[in-house]
Amino acid sequence: MEEGKVVKQLEGTHVEFALVIMDIEDCTVNQAAVREATNGKLDVFATDLPRLRKIAKQLTIESTDPTAERTAYISELTYTLGVSGVLTKGDQSVYLVESAKQPALV
């Protein structure tokens, strides 16, 4: 497993109130803080775009197709959004965080 990667085994009712898409290098959503701030009543579904870009680059490093890396990245993002929609009612708010100066959601 990649160092620093967070893998959650989701069980029971899903309480993700939002999908948070982070686009800040070396920054991720502190999901434990969200659960603590809401007394365990809410969670977020989060993804990190810099990490998806890194994975896409690694997956396509030997490709001669100039669109392969972008296609892999878009595929990863589409899959992530699809999983979020399937595991929830599909009615989550979506937040794109591009700056560490943006206010907290909770």
Amino acid 106: pLDDT: 47
- CA–CA dist 6, 67 (Å, integer): 29
- Return phi, psi of residue 19, to 5°: -105, 120
What pLDDT does residue 6 have? 60
Phi-psi region of 5 (alpha: psi -120 to 50; beta: other; left: phi over 0): beta
Q: Where are the domains of the chain?
A: 16-97
Decide: 35 and 8 in contact? Cβ < 8 Å: no
Task: Extract the tokens encoding 16.
Answer: 């993700």
User: Per residue in 49-105, pLDDT tens?
Assistant: 999 999 999 999 999 999 999 999 999 999 988 888 887 777 888 889 988 776 655
**Mean pLDDT throughout 22-49?**
89
Q: Distance between CA 50 and CA 32 in Å, rounded?
A: 21
